[in-house]
């Protein structure tokens, strides 16, 4: 059964998204990432911490298990519930997703789940966000979906992995179950590592807010996860990482497609592109959400620059 969380007494629920730590062996740059996370947690005091993949760079780790434990230590010691989904670099070398999930589940603060057998990936699960006055009931006011977006494509198309058909079918079943429990569509957020192809479409077709300094490294094949989300009518926002120097969001067919802000210091970036985190604020009985960035210098960025797509020629 899916885990449940509750709103604060003031009816709010705040999530912090850390992404692409690329933690190695606890060196100087890892220490910078931990300091950033601790500062963000102290300043924002969130109710949930989500790592959206590439928590570690397994190919650079002497011991991937030890590195993962180091990477999530700031979350665990904070006492705030947390969960991590996996990216393409987490299990490239020396460890499998099953083994890394076993490490994650060692921690009492982790709310992650292995996910159902027979579904592609490790760490496909849901979390219910319940109303304050719901007592022992589990009927959700919001839902959080966590997905394993995979690593690299296994078809002749190559590139990065796309969501599998059984993951999409699982999402549709879970969405229907949530709607049955609550008597209607339950607004939901979705967290994963590799951006959907629609992230590119959003930048090219609607006004987006934030910056795009590299191409959208989405799967070359569109298997239809976004279409399923539109059909289900429940997802109001998605949150990905993977592309370190993109941090924009744009709304497409009622879904806000959001990038996180690169948190780690080991991998590529861009001069002047400060590390940080994305914040998300949900309110009880309200369908939308607010989002902003919190940067390494402590600055909160609530208004990102707008980008209007170029007019297309007929």
Residue pair 13/127 in contact by the 8 Å Cβ criterion:
no
* 313 in a structural domain: no
CATH number of the domain encompassing residue 144:
3.60.21.10
| Strand duo 249-252 + 235-240: pairing | unpaired
pLDDT number for residue 142: 97
Cα 198 to Cα 223: distance, rounded to the nearest angstrom: 11
* 191 in a structural domain: yes
pLDDT, average across residues 145-164? 92
Residue range of the domain that includes 183? 3-307
* 193 in a structural domain: yes
Cα 201 to Cα 92: distance, rounded to the nearest angstrom: 29
* 85 in a structural domain: yes
What is the distance, to the nearest Å, from the Cα of residue 154 to the centroid of all Cα atoms in its chain? Answer: 23
* 113 in a structural domain: yes
Phi, psi of 152 (to 5 degrees): -125, 150
List C-alpha distances in Å: 35 to 127, 243, 263, 280: 28, 22, 10, 21
pLDDT digits (tens, 9 = 90+) for 257-289: 999 999 999 999 999 999 999 999 999 999 899
137 pLDDT more than 90: no
Whole-prediction pTM: 0.97
Angle between helices 28-44 and 64-71 (to 10 degrees): 30
Query: What order of strands is seen across the sheet that includes strand 82-85?
Result: 82-85, 48-52, 12-18, 276-283, 289-295, 300-301
| Residue 210: partners with Cβ closer than 8 Å, 6 or more residues away | 246, 247, 248, 249, 259, 304, 305, 307
Q: How confident is the model at residue 314 (pLDDT cuts 50, 70, 90)?
A: low
* 80 in a structural domain: yes
* 314 in a structural domain: no
* 260 in a structural domain: yes
Count of domains for the chain = 1
Angle between helices 64-71 and 97-104 (to 10 degrees): 40
């Amino acid at each position: 059964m899916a885990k449940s969380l509750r709103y604060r007494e003031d009816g709010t629920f705040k999530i912090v998204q850390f992404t692409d730590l690329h933690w190695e062996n606890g060196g100087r740059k890892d220490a910078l990432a931990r300091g950033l996370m601790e500062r963000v947690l102290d300043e924002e005091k969130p109710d949930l911490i989500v790592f959206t993949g590439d928590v570690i760079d397994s190919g650079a780790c002497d011991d991937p298990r030890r590195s993962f434990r180091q990477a999530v230590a700031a979350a665990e010691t904070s006492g705030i519930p947390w969960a991590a989904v996996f990216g393409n670099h987490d299990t490239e070398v020396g460890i499998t997703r099953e083994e890394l999930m076993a490490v994650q589940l060692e921690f009492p603060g982790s709310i992650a789940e292995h996910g159902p057998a027979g579904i592609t990936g490790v760490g496909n699960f849901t979390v219910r966000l319940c109303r304050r006055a719901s007592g022992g009931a589990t009927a959700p006011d919001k839902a959080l979906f966590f997905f394993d977006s995979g690593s690299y494509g296994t078809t002749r198309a190559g590139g990065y992995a796309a969501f599998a058909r059984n993951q999409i079918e699982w999402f549709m079943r879970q969405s229907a179950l949530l709607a049955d429990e609550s008597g209607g569509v339950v607004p939901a957020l979705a967290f994963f590592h590799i951006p959907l192809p629609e992230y590119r479409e959003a930048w090219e077709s609607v006004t987006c807010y934030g910056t795009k300094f590299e191409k959208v490294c989405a799967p070359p094949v569109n298997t239809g996860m976004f279409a399923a989300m539109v059909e289900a009518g429940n997802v109001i926002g998605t949150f990905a990482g993977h592309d370190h120097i993109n941090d924009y969001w744009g709304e497409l067919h009622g879904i806000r497609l959001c990038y996180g802000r690169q948190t780690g210091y080991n991998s590529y970036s861009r001069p002047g592109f400060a590390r940080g985190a994305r914040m998300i604020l949900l309110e009880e009985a309200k369908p939308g959400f607010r989002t902003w960035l919190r940067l390494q210098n402590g600055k909160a960025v609530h208004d990102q620059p707008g980008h209007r797509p170029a007019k297309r020629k007929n």
